[in-house]
Amino acid sequence: MYVIDTSVVSALHRNYFRSRFVTLWKLFDEMVLAGGFTSTREALRELEDQGGSAYEWALKNPDLFTTPDAQEGAFVAKIYAVPHFQANMERQKLLQGGRNADPFLIARAAATKSTMLTMEKLRQNAAKIPNICGHFSIPCVDLEQFMEKEGWTF
């Protein structure tokens, strides 16, 4: 299973038009129906802020966007216990108008023993999803790595 970040949903809708990338969307939709993805309520809120087709898609797939449970909440606390992650995530939150789904997505991946799927790239000394996942030994891939891992070619 994969925990899908807001950035992936947005990128798919922005760059891969359903009418032109029919096979991609067929495979993606099949994987959604089969329960291959999960996300969090906080990611849904970020998509709501963005609006557009990504948010419309999210509203049609409400089961993907779960409410964090106690285990996930405890893991968010573990993330914020790392001073470097705390400082940088709070700065990101301020810049994004108060929304930051990242720690909740990572906590969901940890709780469900899933792979994190994001468009973010590992950057030295950053508090990006791949950095935090690496710190906690949570598998993390970007969209291209995901497609490769799943054997999707077009």
Q: What is the pTM of this model?
A: 0.91
Total number of domains constituting the chain: 1
Contact in structure between 129 and 103 (CB atoms under 8 Å): no
d(CA 57, CA 91): 29
Nearest alpha carbon to residue 92 among 6, 12, 9, 10: 6
pLDDT one-digit tens code per residue, 24-53 = 999 999 999 999 999 999 999 999 999 999
Contact in structure between 77 and 113 (CB atoms under 8 Å): no
Reading the block at residue 96, the tokens are 């994004």
d(CA 43, CA 100): 8
Percent of the chain with pLDDT over 70: 92
In the structure, what pLDDT confidence band is assigned to residue 12 with cuts at 50, 70 and 90?
A: very high
Instruction: Give the bridge partners for 4, in sequence order.
Output: 117
Q: What is the CATH number of the domain that holds 130?
A: 3.40.50.1010
pLDDT one-digit tens code per residue, 52-83 = 999 999 999 999 999 999 999 999 999 989 98
Range of the domain at 7: 2-150
